[in-house]
Amino acid sequence: MTLLRVRIDLAYDGTGFSGWAAQPGRRTVEGELSAALTTLLRSPEPVRLTVAGRTDAGVHARGQVAHADVDATAYAAVPGRSTRSPEDAARTRLAGILPADIVVREVSRAPEGFDARFSATQRRYLYRICDRIGGLDPLRRHDTVVVKDELDVAAMGEAATRLVGLNDFAAFCKKREGATTVRTLLDYSWSRAADGTVEGSVVADAFCHSMVRALVGSVVPVGLGRAPVGFPLDVLTARARDPRVTVMPAHGLSLEEVTYPADADLAARAEEARATRSLDD
């Protein structure tokens, strides 16, 4: 069997899922997408997926990217008797198989060296908070967290900026055996959107488990006037989980975008990303 690597760009409402990763007895994004691809390709074995960001239960995505290595012959047969390309036919047919809370934006043949997880150079997340009584749009209650008091957005932005750079984010991550917590935070900023919602944009080369929601939880006390602007940086420097930092609710978070280098640099980027990182690198 000749294998072909396929890139899948997708979005989903994370409300009804126990996260991305397949888990026995639980509804997950990976489980639904794998089942849909298995049906589409008439595969005798479940199609396995690799994803750019393994989102937690309740976290949404508008710009998720995954790849799958599939039987090239089965993939070529997806259009059937139509004149459509396998890519267009796969996207259309998946729309008829997948549940309404998952949308496949695009299916494409992955260029040589592409790895949805390791070839990525940046992941951008968005966190939404409503801080004005009566200000929550009820149609957005599943992607916006409510706080009771108004936030000082400028103070939050100043506190967030101090965390940008190459650092050990152990204080903001759930430690996993053998995994590094060194990351490069490329941008962390806060602003008030046109609808009055306070939005946090968090961009890094990669994230460890619970990192984004903990980063948000470190600056919210600053915005509420309960902690000084330097508090998040003090937590970072301590390199230990701080009980004053609340891991914010999952439903306010969305993976907005994953970026990749030029095709010629994909393999090199993947090799670099697989290497264990330290602050001495």
List residues with catalytic annotation: 56
Instruction: Annotate 177-198 with three-state secondary structure.
Output: CCCCCEEEEEEEEEEECCCCCE
Q: What CA–CA distance (Å, rounded) separates 30 from 272?
A: 26
CA–CA–CA angle 180, 13, 50 (5° rounding): 40
Please name the residues in contact with 56: beta carbons below 8 A apart, sequence gap of 6 or more. 19, 20, 209, 210, 213, 250
What tokens were used for 170? Answer: 């152990």
Residue 151: how many CA atoms within 13 Å on its side-chain side? 30
* Whole-number Å distance between alpha carbons of 89 and 132: 46
Quick one: CA dihedral 61, 140, 161, 214, positive or negative? negative
Q: Which residues contact 208 (CB under 8 A, 6 or more apart)?
A: 169, 172, 173, 174, 176, 179, 181, 183
Single out the residue of 257, 184, 248 nearest to residue 56, CA to CA: 248
Rounded to 10 degrees, the C-alpha dihedral 271/275/277/281 comes to -70
* Alpha helix segments (H runs only) across the chain: 29-41, 72-76, 86-97, 153-161, 211-223, 231-238, 266-274
